[in-house]
Structure 1
Amino acid sequence: MSKQLLCTITFVSVCLIWGTTWMAMEIAVETIPPITATGLRFLISAPLLIAVTLLMKKALLFPKGKRKFMVAVAVFYFAIPFTLMILGEQYISSGLASIIFANMPIAVLAVSMVSLSLRLSAHQFFGLGMAVIALCLILSGELEMGDSNDNAGILALVSAVLIHAVMYVLTQKYAKGIHVLTYNALPSGIAALLLLVVGLFMEQPDAHYFTAESMYAVVYLGLVASVIGIVAYFSLNQMTAPFTASLCFLIFPVVALLLDAWINDNHLSELSQQLLLPLLIGIVIAKVPQLPTWLVSRSNK
């Protein structure tokens, strides 16, 4: 198999896995409380990630001096944001949830500007502004058509995005160079234990009410999304430029929207559908570190 074909298959796989993850979370939380569902997800994925980490002969523990940060990753990268994601899907559609999360690159840029004094070029500011305005218009339009519970769902998803963005920036600052498997294996296991204990007391889950569909969805999240998805995205980053890999953030919301329309007959308003294009274009422009030479030369004429 050629490298180009392997790269294409991996890219498509990541987009499909990320796109279907949102529907799986929606199905899981139908009968399983959100904290418990997220804990079960990581309880499935953590042992497999630990096994893969050992198989690839990577470290399980963070380097000395950074092990407190490993606990922070468990809580603020895994436990809280992933619970907020699935909690939000109790109130808003999986398609809308995916659109919000697709703005992760924009959130990372914004946080980097504040905490790392990252300097953006003019076109990146333009893309950042375009994406933020388009997202705000989409959310305001969908809120007008929904009910008051939608506010809680959107707040949960936006909070998850912001927490993830902050953790990404802190990782770049304090834990850069840690292998992706090391970063995911033990922290997700710690998160699983924390969530299951908290869920036991706060949600008092009754397994008799868990449907087979919800359990299958949790298994999908644990096995496919949290293990295969991570390994596939890591492999994609190894095979392509970071910008190419980040294009997955533009494709997976489309997959999620199509799946939501097909299964649940949920559709965004006509205005929101029209705003998707400037939203995605804004994300692309903001992510491009430098405009193509031919475009710059044309604009200078």
Structure 2
Amino acid sequence: MNAVLYGAVVLIWGTTWIAIALQQGSTAPEVSVAYRFALAAVVMLVALMIMKRLRPISPAQHLWCVAQGACVFGLNFVCFYHAAAFITSGLESVIFSMAVLFNALNARLFFGQLVRANVVWAALLGLAGITSLFWPELQAAEPNPDLFIGVGLSVLGTYGFSLGNMISQRHQRHGLDVPSTNAYAMTYGAVLMAAMAWGQGADFALDMRESYLLALIYLAVIGSVVGFTAYFVLVGRIGAGGAAYCTLLFPLVALTISTVFENYHWHASGVVGLVLILCGNLVMFPTLLQRLADGLKHRLKGRVDVLTER
């Protein structure tokens, strides 16, 4: 199950860059993000109510969902959208891959979790791979105020994403349902983004281009409802550090699609980067397999105990 969730998150979030690119235009980033998570929240809430799986939570837990919505369903996306005006997508990908380290460090800080040696080595290999993959873009980046603004926004967005991971992990430690907390958090994220856009005097007129609407639906339903649910379940199963390793594979999916449809040409440093990232996966996967084995062992033990009691 862990491998399925891992693969699903990589494939889904590795393709959302296309949809985000299709949304570029006159619409303010805050408005696009608000529409995305408003639609995602409606889909999740309606689906959970129909299935009678929407779990009520206490007011205190709702406050945590507000924080989660701000961190991972709102402000982080605004940071990345605005950063794209100052730096290349390659540099953004390199910075976002730091989520692996942020998650490991935050898990240690907030939950006292030890940082496993293989997670550190996998993260270092992955970061080296991402840097090598986008080395030509990094070399072309000239040091100027715009560069520092873009980098700062990307780091802020990545750290916000990591904090959202910690909040989801906290939810699950308190026995809260992932789809339900995601639905609430997406609602609060959408409201926050709408309020921010309104405060800035942004135009809320919906972009009626077919490409924009299709991108909105894909980002809301596939990228948010399916992608974030799978990702946060994975956080609960293998830890935030292991789950965040997915972020190192997103650019590979994006570049593979670009190779097929946009005639992207691989360079030597790109191939080296690919090899390093795959090596990082080989270091990381034993953790995933061990967690899976531990889970199966726990389930089998539970069934044996039930049979023994009978």
Give the TM-score band, short-chain normalised.
0.7 to 0.9
| CA–CA distance in structure 2, aligned partners of residues 13 and 118 of structure 1 | 26
1:167 to 155, 164, 169: 164
Deviations 1:243-273 (A, max 9, x none): 9987755543322122345556666764244
| CA–CA distance in structure 2, aligned partners of residues 125 and 243 of structure 1 | 9
The answer to whether 1:58 aligns with 2:53 is: yes
Give matches, 1:278-297, under 5 Å.
278-282=276-280, 285-286=283-284, 288-289=286-287
The answer to whether 1:129 aligns with 2:127 is: no
2:114 is matched with 119
Give the TM-score normalised by structure 1: 0.74
1:211 Cα deviation after fit: 3.8
CA 215–36 in structure 1, closer or farther in 2 if over 3 Å, else same: same
Q: What letter matches 1:27 in structure 2? A: L
Give matches, 1:77-156, under 5 Å.
77-92=72-87, 94=89, 97-98=92-93, 100-135=95-130, 142-147=137-142, 149=146, 151-156=148-153
| CA–CA distance in structure 2, aligned partners of residues 130 and 106 of structure 1 | 12
SS of equivalent residue, structure 2 residue 275:
helix
1:47 Cα deviation after fit: 0.6
Identity of aligned residues (%): 22
Deviates more, 1:94-103 or 1:62-71: 94-103
Give the TM-score normalised by structure 2: 0.72
Give matches, 1:1-301, under 5 Å.
13-92=8-87, 94=89, 97-98=92-93, 100-135=95-130, 142-147=137-142, 149=146, 151-173=148-170, 176=173, 177-202=175-200, 204-205=202-203, 207=205, 211-230=209-228, 248-249=246-247, 251-261=249-259, 270-282=268-280, 285-286=283-284, 288-289=286-287
Deviates more, 1:120-129 or 1:34-43: 120-129
Contact 2:99 2:244 in 1 (8 A): no
Contact 1:45 1:223 in 2 (8 A): yes
Which ranges of structure 1 fall in alignment gaps of 5 or more residues? 1-5, 293-301
CA 61–79 in structure 1, closer or farther in 2 if over 3 Å, else same: farther
Residues matched between the structures, number: 287
Which ranges of structure 2 fall in alignment gaps of 5 or more residues? 291-310
